[in-house]
Amino acid sequence: MEQASKETATSTGIKEVPPELLQSWLEAGDTVLIDVREDYEHAEERIGNAELHPLSKFDPAELRKKHADKRIVFHCRTGKRSHEAARRFGVDSEPVFHMAGGIEGWKAAGLLTVRPEGAPKLPIMRQVQITAGALVATGVALGITVTPWFLAISAFVGCGLMFAGITGWCGMAKLLAVMPWNRRSCAV
């Protein structure tokens, strides 16, 4: 394991693995890649053979039991959620890994992803941006032309966006993910 020196440990003991090193580990067959993004994100685009275990339903004991003989590496979109999953997964002095840069780092390294045929043309987060923008603009227009009470729509959407930014949970994304145009199988 001469390439192990390329991994970097964070102050919490979680080791960040560069995408190129992770790819070699995956090819060797001794590593399992765990995607901790939500199911709709995984269905839009994913790293081939990555297993989906959303952070919102994360069960470290289940993963340990299922992959007791493998090295587990976590990933998400940019690295924040996978770092949290690695923190939750870690026990004692057991090495814990997450991929540096997430799927965005994987793509930046020139590595391939899988984008299923049934994936929506617009990612859920872009749909959220469009919907939120439309609701804010409608609330302002109606607030100016009809009654100021319609400004509450814009205030509600703004508070929702702040909540999503602070907590990482977006109710509008969850709602849009179950719309008929976004329904598809999450199977690999």
Round to whole Å and give the CA distance between 41 and 178.
Answer: 12
Q: Are 68 and 135 in contact (CB under 8 A)?
A: no
- The answer to whether 76 is a known catalytic residue is yes
Report the alpha-carbon angle 167-130-75, nearest 5.
Answer: 45
Q: At what angle do helices 151-167 and 124-145 cross, to 10 degrees?
A: 150
Q: Dig out the tokens for 14 from the structure.
A: 């979680």
Q: Name the one residue in this structure whose structure tokens are 């053979």.
A: 49
Round to whole Å and give the CA distance between 103 and 115.
Answer: 12
Phi and psi based region of residue 74 (left: phi greater than 0; alpha: psi -120 to 50; beta: remaining): beta
- The 8-class DSSP code of residue 154 comes to H
* Residues classed as catalytic: 76
